[in-house]
Amino acid sequence: MENKRKVTKPEGKLAVLVPGLGAVSTTLMAGVELARQGKGLPIGSLTQMGTARLGKRTDGRTVKLNELVPLAELNDVAFGAWDIISEDAYQVAMRSGVLNDKHLEQVKPFLQSIKPKKGVHDAEFVRRIEANHTKSTKTHRESIEALRQDIRDFKKELNAKRAVMVVCSSVETFRPLPEAFKTLAAFEKALDENSPDINPTALYTYAALKEGVPFANATPNASVDTPALQELAKQEGIPVAGRDLKSGQTMMKTVIAPALKARMLGLDGWFSTNILGNRDGEVLDDPAAFKAKEVTKSSVLDTILQPEVYPDLYKKYSHKVSIHYYPPRGDAKEGWDNIDIVGWLGYPMQIKVNFLCRDSILAAPLVLDIALFLDLAKRLEWRGIQEWMSFYFKSPMAQPGLPVEHDLFIQLTKLKNTLRVVAGEEPITHLGLDYYGDDLPLSK
């Protein structure tokens, strides 16, 4: 395949700008610095550890993803952040309790150097945090201009030639899609009118897109998944991705559910609950904030199982999702799943999953990959929805009218095939009939 895509080389520093200096973002920052020092492995990151096979199985060609396509190197990554709490990254990391003292001491000066700029805050959207570091802007337009200036300042301060933004802030309260988000014209009008329907995350999104900065939403908050901001992304020629990181329990659903469908096993019910004690858990203790998370966590099963196609297997299953704030657990989230499945002749069986995971340890490498892939997309001059990055999200986006793909393995195949095509290599279909010649003739 000779039509290799033209892509600008990743020269100079890349500023990874993060609204929300919390457990996930500080774990990411510390991990990148430890990897740069040779004191830790970036486990969980496709961009750093993933590979892709090229050509036939018999060719023996396997390369690392960061050799297949030109990605920014870790040494060229710099971080900037906003937050509504004034703590620097080291203080946040200490309070979050994700990393041990040894790791934190090795990166203490680096983390202390990352001080957040004041964040945009609306107490109606984030109710459980006492903010002490917020912008004094009075209108949406003023907030946007302040954020745009921050982006320009970050690039200067970090000596960065390029920037991407990945939102890792607290979950905002859920609201059905307001009219203001249905078209860009309506959104612009709502900005002018200082509408209470517009959430802080949407203001960061608008500011990033207007500054030409690729944007991803790692939270359930309303953002680039809305028609108005997707329209703006295409208008400005900016790649976007989201929403809500697929890190723990939902990742397991996108592994197990495809297996059930592949084997044509039925489903009677899927009960999921979580206990979590970090700031995310505290915010999600607000029912209105949990509703936003529930929407993204609950959406995957129907799209994978296709009850409209397989009504005998999946038409009437029960699906329950809950999250409980339990402070002693900290960042060590525990997810319990009880899955009631149905086999031959309708006989019942069960699957039990007890996932004792670390929320930020799972999420940090995803944010790194998203940032580096978004930067690649911008250098390819791609714009709008980057569906090939669906692998990373609970509620990924697709063009209007296209069914969303949630199967983790299909998503991974799509991601790697996209990178193969960018590199001028053939996509891999795993058909393999040509290995068997006349034993499996395709034509006579």
CA distances 336 to 14, 130, 250, Å, are 39, 31, 11
Lowest mean pLDDT among 106-120, 201-215, 277-291, 419-433: 277-291
**Residue 133 amino acid letter:** H
Q: Is the dihedral of CA 379, 385, 387, 391 positive or negative?
A: positive
183 band by pLDDT with thresholds 50, 70 and 90: very high
pLDDT at position 331? 84
pLDDT at position 1? 52
CA angle 395, 399, 403 (to 5 degrees): 60
Between 286 and 415, name the one with better pLDDT.
415
Please tell me the distance from the alpha carbon of residue 203 to that of residue 375, in angstroms, as a whole number. 21
Mean pLDDT score of the chain: 94
Mean pLDDT on 60-77? 98
Lowest mean pLDDT among 127-131, 234-238, 301-305, 310-314: 127-131
pTM confidence score: 0.94
User: In sequence order, what are the residues at sequence separation of 6 or more whose Cβ sits closer than 8 angstroms to the Cβ of residue 109?
Assistant: none
Pair type for strands 13-19 and 160-167: parallel
297 band by pLDDT with thresholds 50, 70 and 90: low
pLDDT at position 54? 97
| pLDDT beyond 80 at 414 | yes
Please tell me the distance from the alpha carbon of residue 6 to that of residue 331, in angstroms, as a whole number. 42
Please tell me the distance from the alpha carbon of residue 435 to that of residue 10, in angstroms, as a whole number. 39
User: In sequence order, what are the residues at sequence separation of 6 or more whose Cβ sits closer than 8 angstroms to the Cβ of residue 437?
Assistant: none
Strand partners, 79: 16
The dihedrals phi and psi of 32, each to the nearest 5 degrees, come to -65, -45
Please tell me the distance from the alpha carbon of residue 388 to that of residue 365, in angstroms, as a whole number. 17
pLDDT at position 289? 67
**Residue 432 amino acid letter:** G
| pLDDT beyond 80 at 294 | no
pLDDT at position 281? 74
User: In sequence order, what are the residues at sequence separation of 6 or more whose Cβ sits closer than 8 angstroms to the Cβ of residue 417?
Assistant: 427, 428
Tokens 């390029």 -> residue: 162
pLDDT at position 278? 77
Between 116 and 359, name the one with better pLDDT.
116
Please tell me the distance from the alpha carbon of residue 285 to that of residue 176, in angstroms, as a whole number. 19
Chain segment 217-276, per-residue pLDDT in tens: 999 999 999 999 999 999 999 999 999 999 989 999 999 999 999 999 999 999 999 898
pLDDT at position 130? 86
The residue among 68, 63, 62 whose CA lies nearest residue 7 is: 68
The rounded percent of the chain whose pLDDT value lies above 70 is 97
Mean pLDDT on 166-191? 95
Burial class (CB in 10 A: 0-12, 13-18, 19+), 296: buried
299 band by pLDDT with thresholds 50, 70 and 90: confident
Chain segment 403-412, per-residue pLDDT in tens: 999 999 999 9
Chain segment 94-137, per-residue pLDDT in tens: 999 999 999 999 999 999 999 999 999 999 999 888 899 999 99
Residue 227: count other Cβ atoms within 10 Å of its Cβ: 15
pLDDT at position 277? 83
Q: How many residues does the chain have?
A: 444
Mean pLDDT on 172-195? 95
